[in-house]
Amino acid sequence: MTASPLFSHAMTLRASSSDGAAVHFQGELNQHWTIGSKIHGGVMMALCAKAARLAVEDTAEPVVVSANFLRAPDPGPVELVATICKRGRTVSLVDVELTQGGRVAVRAAVTLGAPEHHNAPLLDANPVLALMSPEPPSDIAPIEPGHVLADVNHLAAGCDIRPDLSRLRPADHQGAPRTRIWVRPRDEAPDLLFALLCGDISAPVTFAVGLRGWAPTVQLTAYLRSRPADGWLRVLSTTTTIGQDWFDQDYVIVDCEDRVVAQSRQLALVPAKDWE
């Protein structure tokens, strides 16, 4: 049977057992959710958030996910253990470990509550609206066969991803590096978990200094602000400092109704491989 590329299928979890406050789940992440040969970090974060939501068994949604990445697993079965640390009326806290072959790949702390409603914010300094149109411009090509990222980013099987890499070219010297990406899941509407995935969907900003090898994320924290509307999500990715060893990468994700639906910041290792 051909593996499904749908995001909702990747988020499928089966509860296998329960031990006090800990609930055990089984899932599977196939080759459509890989960068190179390894499972994409944002997909694993989304699966951890799904396990936390199922463990508390109420209407709460993930509003903060903070993850440490210990190793990069291969496509295939994974196990998750969600341990409820606090069950509250407003906020619940769940720790999640994602393992493969008995080895921990991700440790995540998930805060669950109620996302923002569809009310106007008290203050809005959204940087995306001035830089990105609601839909991708016609000259922004999707990741598909022939695209510069097609051999590495396999998420394009389950997502329509249209990245603007013009500010990540080492020779251009156009100021601070940034990536603009328009993205949406194929054949279904985006949800909070997909918005969480988008908080790790850009090519590393180290492309801008001629380093495009594997840049492993060490820690990533994401805020899930509001449920996205059905349509394109706009992702703006920037950096503050690319050091000799470490770099940061920030994301703001906005839906088609101009609402900030997610934000994230990660710390990652600078790749050793130079631009080829």
> Residue 118: what pLDDT?
81
**Tokens describing residue 41:** 């970090």
Amino acid 275: pLDDT:
42
Alpha carbon 161 to its chain centroid, in Å, reads 13
Give the chain's mean pLDDT.
92
pTM: 0.94
Identify whether the C-beta of residue 160 lies closer than 8 Å to the C-beta of residue 142: yes
Residue 11 has pLDDT above 50, yes or no: yes
pLDDT single digits (tens) 181-206: 999 999 999 999 999 999 999 989 99
82, 10, 227, 55 alpha-carbon torsion, rounded to 10°: -20
What pLDDT is recorded for position 8? 95
CATH superfamily of 1-114: Hotdog Thioesterase (3.10.129.10)
| Per-residue confidence (pLDDT) for residue 84, from 0 to 100 | 95
Three-class DSSP labels, 113-126: ECCECCCCCCCCCC
- Whether 231 and 255 have beta carbons less than 8 Å apart is answered as yes
Q: In which region does residue 258 sit, left (phi positive, over 0), alpha (psi from -120 to 50) or beta (all else)?
A: left
Tokens of 78: 């994974």
Contacts of 74 (CB under 8 A, 6+ apart): 37, 38, 39, 100
At 207-266, the pLDDT tens digits run 988 888 889 999 999 999 999 999 999 999 999 999 999 999 999 999 999 999 999 999
How many angstroms separate the CA atoms of 170 and 208, rounded?
A: 5
**Domain range summary for the chain, segments of one domain joined by +:** 1-114, 127-276
CATH topology of domain 127-276: Porin (2.40.160)
Kindly report, residue by residue over 32-50, the tens digit of the pLDDT. Answer: 999 988 999 999 999 999 9
pLDDT at 213: 83
In percent, how much of the chain has pLDDT > 90?
A: 76
Higher pLDDT: 58 or 152? It is 152
